[in-house]
Structure 1
């Protein structure tokens, strides 16, 4: 849920198998831009048309150590959204347990590990809040791009190639598997086939960094009903209220780890 210190700019496999994939997929990519964009646009329209959302997720973020060892950190959480101006997001991992709550007027960052929380006035929409958190405070909600009303335009920024790879199955649900390329990143998305084109899996790969680290988001549950009191924050009486800048490290990667993966999420 929380941003990382170094991010991708926004926007053993058998050799024989790797060669076969490169031969069969790449020509299709050049011919399928229109179909891939059509499927992505269908997902974007469906998601942005939902007034309320409640989503649970798992996420993996890969880092590269100074010894060029790839390490993966895994978290789980929930995102609840009520357009236009309410948002709640949680992330629980092996190192941090954090939530943000926004009721249209007040933003709360609740650091459960540190037993403290911070609040600032932040009137506006949830989309404006997402930008403020990311740009000014380094706090990124999971899959934030997927929540935006202009999600299609955001995702398609700087895309140079798109392909329909085929079908995939995520948690027993058949999905359309799409792959896109930017200059510095490759990203894939699996969209549920049928009348509810829900994003089920989202992977971003850095091409400009050695070892090609990835960020992966897997959406497990997708509901459109949210409890009326979901965006009300009630502080734990044992927690201390502090200034936002005084919060301890709330990153999803522990301190001392060199981070090498993405913010298009």
Structure 2
């Protein structure tokens, strides 16, 4: 089995890239023509504070991402994800890729599980703690790349402060499901755009990330809809019971850690 394929399902699950702005007070969103950086920072900060303080929510994420081909051509692939988060220690992401393949990423406060029904396999790692620790463990220790992950951690405001170098209002967009303030921001690694409602709860409606240092500058695009601030899922919603015939396999990062020293094996004459 190609172990790497299994964890491609988790690649676009949750953005290690959407992160960062100074800590200004959250003010009412601006309206009218594009404004100053101060106006843009206030809008972005309000969104970050709101997401970081939400006790629970669910959201549907219809995402597309570029894959650079050997010819230099960029081809878009897509996913539909349903994310449900209950703080402090529950998160579930159900994913369906554009080719029909499905997958699951789950954290129940004790363990992280990634499941591929097509491959009849799952990986699991013990990581007691809260959602923030689980997400950073996925990113740093298990070495999974998870766009939009920072939107779902309580550290979002401080991550914004640390990473964003500039942000500005592009326009007031009237063709989304609700009127939105369209922001464009820059970090050292990526440029990103985000559409935030001009009134009501500042729950983002669209995100576009450009990986400007990657070959071909590919983009990740996501439309966020069906926000629910009181999903109240049952406790067993975050419990994974392996179906019959499904095998457990290690995460790739765990395989790398466990890999033997080839030179020592040869020198000892035994395997």
Query: Normalized against structure 2, the TM-score is what?
Result: 0.75
Per-residue CA distance 1:9-55 (angstroms, 9 max, x = gap): 786xxxxxxxxxxxxxxxx98x7111111001111121122111111
- State the Cα distance separating 1:78 from its structure 2 match: 0.9
**After superposition, where does 1:90-105 map in structure 2 within 5 Å?**
90-95=94-99, 96-105=101-110
Length, aligned pairs only: 228
Runs of 4+ in 1 over 6 A off after TM superposition: 7-11
Uncovered stretches (5+) of structure 2, i.e. residues with no partner: 1-8, 20-32, 255-271
Q: Residue 187 of structure 1: which of 183, 192, 212 is its match?
A: 192
Counterpart secondary structure, 1:199: coil
- Asked if the contact 1:54/1:226 (under 8 Å) is kept, the reply is no
Uncovered stretches (5+) of structure 1, i.e. residues with no partner: 12-27, 248-265
In 2 relative to 1, CA 169–137 (structure 1 residues): closer, same or farther, beyond 3 Å?
A: farther
- State the Cα distance separating 1:125 from its structure 2 match: 0.8
Task: Give the structure 2 partner of residue 65 of structure 1.
Answer: 69
For 1:64 and 1:34, the matched residues in 2 are separated by: 36
Task: Give the structure 2 partner of residue 134 of structure 1.
Answer: 139
**After superposition, where does 1:200-239 map in structure 2 within 5 Å?**
200-209=205-214, 211-224=216-229, 225-229=231-235, 230-239=237-246
- The structure with more radius of gyration: 2
Counterpart secondary structure, 2:194: strand
For 2:110 and 2:241, the matched residues in 1 are separated by: 15
Query: Cα RMSD over matched residues?
Result: 2.6
Higher relative contact order (CA 8 A, sep 6+): 1
Task: Give the structure 2 partner of residue 44 of structure 1.
Answer: 48
In 2 relative to 1, CA 124–131 (structure 1 residues): closer, same or farther, beyond 3 Å?
A: same
- State the Cα distance separating 1:149 from its structure 2 match: 1.0
For 1:41 and 1:49, the matched residues in 2 are separated by: 12
Task: Give the structure 2 partner of residue 2 of structure 1.
Answer: 10
- Asked if the contact 2:18/2:192 (under 8 Å) is kept, the reply is no
**After superposition, where does 1:116-155 map in structure 2 within 5 Å?**
116-155=121-160
For 1:241 and 1:2, the matched residues in 2 are separated by: 16
- State the Cα distance separating 1:211 from its structure 2 match: 3.8
- State the Cα distance separating 1:183 from its structure 2 match: 3.5
